[in-house]
Amino acid sequence: MDTHTILAIVFILGMGLFLYVRRSALTVQKILGPIIYFAMYRASWGLGAMDALANWFPRFMRWLFYSGIVIGFLGMGFISYEIIKNTVNLFTQPELAPGIQPVLPIAVKGVFYVPFAYWIISIFVIAAIHEFAHGVAARAHNIPVKSSGFAFLGIILPVIPAAFVEPDEKKLIKRPMRQQLSVFAAGPLANILLAFLVIFVFGFQFPGIAPETSSKIALVDLPSFADGLTQWNGLTLTGVTPGSPAAAAGLIPGETITAIDDVPVTDRAKLVERLNTIKPQDAITLTTKDNVRPLVVGSNPDDASRPWIGIQFDAQSGPTPSALARYGERGTTLILGGITLLVFIYALSLGIGLFNLLPLGPLDGGRMFQLAAERILGPSTGHAAWKYMGFFFLGLIILNLTIGFVR
């Protein structure tokens, strides 16, 4: 059992014990009896800080949140277009459609896996900033915030954490449209700004920012201050195609390829570069960490002119000897762990911020779309448009998730 699994078990049991002890203070919505439920723990955390920040350059704060309306509707258009395009590509160009995957600390098919420690810290940071921004925006417009707190989606035990603030809804809906929209847009705005802050403060680059599923940092994603900390260590096989040249050579999942014909192939790019010099029927030698295996290259089943080995792999990285000598094993591990966490915070904050802008039901984007539609089209027609738009995007999301799990 790895460290992340142990942390997940300790966290779930700890939160389950906390919620049981404080059960009288919980508001519980049962979704499927006592098995699946949504629990909210109300408190007053951060309310004073919301007031203080809202009153710090109040005119600037109000205009910052007004700018969030523009960013919110632009983001709504962008994420809506991307989901529609991805759904079309699922049927017309499936190789170009990445699909939609839930982000969870569970390594199963159809899920974007994030190791538990990184996942829980990222979710708490992102959710806290998201909800705090809603509260600051409300207070900037002198709308009372009744409470704050955290919540859990539970499947017997609490599993997926969340946070919330509760502006006074009765007073909120009486405010001008621009104030209501700015409160709704504040959370996604904060998430998007956090993502860009991580990029520009820590020097990450846009291309390929997502971390590898092995939880190792991809070298191309490292900020400049981390140069020389990691190196590629080889290609670890995750699968070998039956009947392929690799299978005939005796390669098995778990082996790590480090060279072809004594030419190092420690990352994906070097493998592609080396394969471009090889033709079908060439005799080559694959060097792994444990063996040297001769192999006759086959022809690609889809294009007989291209070489084919028949392997699936993950590129593995690790600390460089110079980093270990300078910082020690523990120091290097902490530095790389911190960088990995920043990458996850960037990717999840941007993704959650944009997803929340979808014109779907109770999401922030849904509330923005409903308010705008009812104002432009009238209460009855606007409400119907909001409802049908929500069903439309909910259907697309379910379709994408389903195909992601089965394909």
pLDDT digits (tens, 9 = 90+) for 5-35: 888 889 888 888 888 888 888 888 888 777 8
pLDDT at site 137: 97
Q: Output the six-digit token pair for 238.
A: 């995750």
Task: Check pLDDT > 60 for residue 292.
Answer: yes
Q: pLDDT exceeding 70 applies to what percent of the chain?
A: 92
**Between residues 71 and 342, which one has the greater pLDDT?**
71
Instruction: State in Å, rounded, how far the first CA of the chain is from the last one.
Output: 29
pLDDT interval class at 69 (50, 70, 90): very high
HSE-up (13 A, CA, CB side) for residue 239: 4
What is the pLDDT, as a whole number, of residue 335? 84
Can you give the three-state secondary structure of 261-320, one letter per residue?
CCEECCCHHHHHHHHCCCCCCCEEEEEECCCEEEEECEEECCEEEEEECCEEEEEEEEEC
Task: Judge whether 42 and 24 are in contact, CB under 8 Å.
Answer: no
pLDDT at 221: 46
Nearest to 283 by CA among 250, 307, 247, 254: 307
Q: How many CB atoms lie within 10 A of CB 27?
A: 11
Residue 224 has pLDDT above 60, yes or no: no
Asked if residues 306 and 299 have their Cβ atoms less than 8 Å apart, the reply is yes
206: its two tokens: 């846009």
Query: pLDDT tens for residues 296-311?
Result: 999 888 788 889 999 8
Name the residue ranges covered by the structural domains of the chain: 3-213+340-406, 230-319
Is the pLDDT assigned to residue 82 strictly greater than 50? yes
pLDDT of the residue at 96: 63
The answer for 323, left when phi > 0, alpha when psi is -120 to 50, beta otherwise, is alpha
Name the average pLDDT for the chain.
86
Sign, Cα dihedral of 143, 55, 164, 359? positive
- pLDDT value, residue 407: 67
Please report which confidence band the pLDDT of residue 217 belongs to, taking 50, 70 and 90 as the band edges. very low
Identify which has the larger pLDDT, 313 or 382.
382
- 317 or 182: which leads in pLDDT: 182
Q: Supply 124's token pair.
A: 């708490």
β-pairing, 103-104 vs 112-113, is parallel
The pLDDT tens digits of the residues spanning 344-361 come to 899 899 999 999 999 998
The answer on pLDDT for 378 being more than 50 is yes
The pLDDT assigned to 337 comes to 86
Tell me the mean pLDDT in the region 54-75.
95
How far is it, in rounded angstroms, from Cα 206 to Cα 208?
A: 6
Residue from 202, 206, 226, 201 nearest 216 by CA:
226
**What is the per-residue pLDDT for 225?**
52
Q: Does the pLDDT value for residue 46 go beyond 60?
A: yes
Q: Work out the pLDDT band at 369, boundaries 50, 70, 90.
A: very high
According to the model, what pLDDT value does residue 5 have?
83
In which residue are the tokens 């998007």 written? 192
State what percent of residues in the chain have pLDDT above 90: 44
pLDDT for residue 67: 97
CATH top-level class for 230-319? mainly beta
Phi, psi of 173 (to 5 degrees): -70, -10
Average pLDDT estimate for 157-167? 87
The dihedrals phi and psi of 378, each to the nearest 5 degrees, come to: 100, 155
